[in-house]
Chains A and B, each alone.
Chain A
Amino acid sequence: METTGRADLPGELKYVQYEHSLEAQYLPAIRALISKDLSEPYSIYVYRYFLYQWGHLCYMALDPVDSSLIGVIICKLEPHASHSPPTLRGYIAMLAVSSPYRGHGVATALVKMAIDAMARRNADEIVLETEETNVPAMRLYERLGFLRSKKLHRYYLNGNSAYRLVLLLRPIDPDAAADLSLDDIDLAPR
């Protein structure tokens, strides 16, 4: 997970919002970057599922010189069904920064852009899961204001557990608090 041979950033990075017309140019690189830290790859449909519907919540960090991909964040934003009244829940599905460029605030910048975009679209909350051993990711999110709401036992295929992290953007409607569930089944299928 930690950087091996840290590189300086090649100047001021370009941060670009994804759009469908960029698929041919960037989807292979996005897949390659995300897959590096996964034991099992996601199928192309998973990427398209997110990018086709929520391309506006995907941001890329690009090399200013050759426009190659350095980091990416992929999200979705949907009404969360098990809540009554439903909340508008943002979900950070994937985040990765190419390992030589880690530790320069690239991921932080990407996450901030995604949060801002979701907040502009009236998200009530933003959630995600991260592996219990992924200290860098947890630190990053917690620094921004996320809280661990619960631990998910053996959540990943490799047998590791996860934490559900939550960022509340506006107060919970007290009348809706009867749904205490903090539940997640619909978001992250197992």
Chain B
Amino acid sequence: MSQTNPSQDIIGQPSNRSSSDLDDPAPPMISNDGVVAIDITQKFLSAAATLEPGDLIKDGYFTLFEAVGALEIMDPKMDSGCLAPGESLDEDYDVTRPLSPSEVLGIIDQLLCLELAWNLGYPLSQTLLTNVYIEAMLMPSPVTIGEADFIRNRKHEPRDPMFAVLRAYCLGLLKCCFYVNERIKFEHYYEEEDFVTNTYHRSLLDDIDREEIREEIMAARRLLHSLRQDISGEMADALGFRLELRAAFLRAIELSDLRSNPESLSLPWSQMKAVWDTINKSRHLGTPVPEAFSTKIQRKLASTMPPRPIVQPSFEETYEQFKKLFADGIDVLKVLNYVDSQSLLNFVLTFQAQKPQPLVYIRTLLQSFLFKDMIVLGHLSIRQVVDDDLAIVVLPASRLLDPANDIVEAIHDPRFAIAHQMEQFRLRAAQSYLDIFRAFCQNRCRVRRTLCHSIQDWETVQVDAEEIDTLLQHQLEEKPMPYQTPLTSTPTSSGSEPLAYALPLSSWAYLYKLRLMEWIVQLGFELETYQPDELAGMYWYLSHLAKTRAQHVERIKVFTVQCMNEQRTNSTLTAAGEAQFTRSLEYLRVTILDAAVTWELADSLCCLYTVLQRLRLVVAPPRPYSTDELRYDIRMKPFAAIGLPELPSFDSFSRATAQPESATADLLEYAGRAVAGARKGYEVLAKLNEGDAFTAHSHARWLAGTKNCLKSVIAVNIAISTVRKVMGGLGRGEGDAEAGARLKTEVPRPDKCYHDWWIVPKVSEKK
């Protein structure tokens, strides 16, 4: 069961309660026209007196959620006003006490750790809002830049230089937090799971102008420069770099709204990256000031939560995480260089597959680049991206995508109808298409959960697309061609191949649905959803899906080639059209290859795990309360409602996985051949350049992933050989049991594998 932050957002502050307050409840004086107050105290008390302790009187609307949110008065872990004997309600830290340069540095460095904790998903109340200087700066809420100071109402005397530095740092920090919070709130994320946007009614300098804050930071840097003699150049630099970090962060945020010209947008990110190392190296100059941070401040926040501990990552972790954040900040900008829709998809897939995953701020930044104001990457209409994708996947040089169709006004012209029907299709499919990108911007657990829903949606997109395909066939006067689907090998009565139409739009939808289904299974491996004895079956299902995809793309290819030949024959193929066909066929080739290596590697792992189960090296737990079939029902629940490809029955799934008719040696041999095929395929993939692989601006990440698959292939091969060797050395009358006794197996966790999606068992001979 999960625990919950009880009623988060309550206006007003808890009072300092003591037992005497409870003894003497003064009845409130209610006087208002139309309100007749009746004192029910006695009635209530006598009704309550009839209850035994522990009796629960509740209506049907009192849910577990309310129960978890309820507080117990006078329990120090729940009642925020409950004090230990002698404990004071407030912090008694004096923010006007002089600070040494090294203390300022110490405070700033602790603030950095807390800022990171907030970015990792912990609430402000347990991170930045535990700092007394920040609290003093934010309360009461400042309206002008002058008021934004932890020492208010200063007479005209100049600020102490160290106060000026700390103040400028805090100004920059809070304004950054404001923008980060706004960005995240604006995009799709999961509150509390990914991030807590609650500011507890504190304004993060919302109304103070960014330029004024920048000016204060610049002034403080100049001030530091003039202090080099007094506080040492080293110290002045150390503080100066921290201010530079704040200024650059603000600038980076400001520029990211532009969504164009990624090179110039990356300048402040590079600056942060550079200065971050220097900051790390000067950490030792700081003196911690732990008393400047207090959980007691939480009592003043608009929350009923009692003070909870400060969440403070180590500086080492802070260093690594921010370093990654800055690198990701530079990287994510590259998405703005749009080349084609498939490269865009690969960018998002590989960017989000990184371990650790980019922080939520970067993930929401990517979302804003992709979707803000319905303009993709700041300059493309959704239609442009969708049409680009259709042209790559199913409709190169097609009349269906000719923009000139839109201006045809003669309603009997087929182009008029085409324009209309294509628009209907875009209206139907564009959202589902963009949702794939959005889904992959979520945390990994949510990606998988979201895709489980999306496949339902794509199921209907495919059906609707097929309807539009049929209408378009008429407009295009398309003639069906002989085509035999490999899966449904039912020959027609005449023995000739059945006739088929291209069905480009539904083919496109089906291809995405298949990919989504594969991703769901693959993320299952990555998220350790399957137990070891499930792996054979899940790799079998993955190979089934990938094989279906390969066959489907082969079908698309047949029609694409046919269409190209037609255009050649009747000399309507232009040079631009030729180039589109070439690009599309390249895409189809890579996709078939990708599907083929997936199916072969999955196939080999399926066989290998089946063998390990026969040898009792992977053993299923007893499971007295379950049956294989019931577990199949749960495991395959996301796919159960999908019509195409239909979920295999439990019986055919079990037989395909266990392969009872094949001898163990044959399974191993088959696995060996499959993995050899996968190896060849991955080697070809690994040699592709970014144009051919459709990996513009993410090629290095994609290539690293592909090479990790290749390493997985090699590891599978080693495991197979190890088992074969032992099987080969068996004596007469010895079998699986004896072989199993001579081997040991470990099923590693995904983070110990070369690739998260390929859980390769480590098999070794016993000494």
**Chain A residues proximal to chain B, CB less than 8 Å:** 20, 23-24, 27, 38-46, 48-49, 51-53, 76, 93-94, 112, 115, 128-129, 142-157, 159, 161-163, 166-172, 174, 177-178, 180-182, 186-190
User: A180 is contacted by which of B66, B72, B445, B456 (Cβ under 8 Å)?
Assistant: B456
Query: Nearest A residue to B455 by beta-carbon distance?
Result: A180
Docked complex Cα distance between A145 and B633 (Å): 13
Question: A residues within 8 A CB of B63?
Answer: 186, 189
B88 at the interface (CB under 8 A from A): no
Q: Are B630 and A168 neighbours in the complex by a CB distance under 8 Å?
A: yes
User: Which positions 627-649 of chain B face chain A at CB distance < 8 Å?
Assistant: 629-631, 633-635, 637-638, 640-641
Q: Are B634 and A143 neighbours in the complex by a CB distance under 8 Å?
A: no
Distance from B698 Cβ to chain A, minimum over Cβ atoms (Å)? 24
Question: A residues within 8 A CB of B527?
Answer: 150-151
Binary A-proximity of B436-455 (CB < 8 A = 1, otherwise 0)? 00000001111011001100
User: B67 is contacted by which of A41, A43, A112 (Cβ under 8 Å)?
Assistant: A43
Q: Are A149 and B65 neighbours in the complex by a CB distance under 8 Å?
A: no
B481 at the interface (CB under 8 A from A): no
User: A154 is contacted by which of B193, B453, B622, B629 (Cβ under 8 Å)?
Assistant: B193
Question: A residues within 8 A CB of B13?
Answer: none
Distance from B454 Cβ to chain A, minimum over Cβ atoms (Å)? 10
Judged by DSSP, the binding face of B is: loop
Docked complex Cα distance between A163 and B529 (Å): 8
Q: Are A27 and B631 neighbours in the complex by a CB distance under 8 Å?
A: no
Distance from B2 Cβ to chain A, minimum over Cβ atoms (Å)? 4
Given A167-B626, A168-B633, A157:B3 Cβ within 8 A: yes
Distance from A124 Cβ to chain B, minimum over Cβ atoms (Å)? 11
Give the interface size bracket for B toward A: 35 or more
Docked complex Cα distance between A102 and B346 (Å): 49
User: B64 is contacted by which of A38, A49, A94, A180 (Cβ under 8 Å)?
Assistant: A49
Docked complex Cα distance between A156 and B445 (Å): 14
Question: B residues within 8 A CB of A189?
Answer: 2, 4, 63-65, 68-69
Given A49-B67, A149-B529, A159-B120, A40:B3 Cβ within 8 A: yes
Question: A residues within 8 A CB of B640?
Answer: 172, 174, 177, 180
Docked complex Cα distance between A174 and B78 (Å): 45
Jot down 13 A-B pairs with beta carbons below 8 A, ordered by A: A40-B77, A41-B75, A43-B72, A45-B72, A46-B68, A48-B56, A76-B64, A145-B625, A150-B449, A153-B190, A156-B3, A168-B626, A189-B69
Given A23-B54, A166-B634, A45:B120 Cβ within 8 A: no
Docked complex Cα distance between A6 and B190 (Å): 42
Q: Are A147 and B531 neighbours in the complex by a CB distance under 8 Å?
A: yes
Max chain A C-beta neighbours (<10 A), residue from B53, B121, B194, B630: B630
B143 at the interface (CB under 8 A from A): no
User: B445 is contacted by which of A20, A146, A153, A168 (Cβ under 8 Å)?
Assistant: A153
Q: Are A168 and B634 neighbours in the complex by a CB distance under 8 Å?
A: yes
Q: Are B445 and A169 neighbours in the complex by a CB distance under 8 Å?
A: no
User: B54 is contacted by which of A48, A76, A171 (Cβ under 8 Å)?
Assistant: A48
Given A145-B626, A167-B626, A94:B1 Cβ within 8 A: yes
Binary A-proximity of B1-21 (CB < 8 A = 1, otherwise 0)? 111110000000000000000
B71 at the interface (CB under 8 A from A): yes
Query: Nearest B residue to A148 by beta-carbon distance?
Result: B529
User: A20 is contacted by which of B54, B446, B534 (Cβ under 8 Å)?
Assistant: B54
Question: B residues within 8 A CB of A181?
Answer: 452-453
Question: A residues within 8 A CB of B529?
Answer: 148-151, 163
Max chain B C-beta neighbours (<10 A), residue from A93, A115, A153, A166: A153
Docked complex Cα distance between A166 and B625 (Å): 11
Closest 9 CB pairs of A and B: A145-B626, A145-B623, A49-B67, A189-B65, A153-B445, A52-B56, A145-B625, A23-B54, A177-B640
Question: A residues within 8 A CB of B71?
Answer: 43
Docked complex Cα distance between A154 and B195 (Å): 10
Distance from A132 Cβ to chain B, minimum over Cβ atoms (Å)? 8
Q: Are A42 and B68 neighbours in the complex by a CB distance under 8 Å?
A: yes
Q: Are B67 and A45 neighbours in the complex by a CB distance under 8 Å?
A: yes
Given A27-B54, A42-B68, A147:B631 Cβ within 8 A: yes
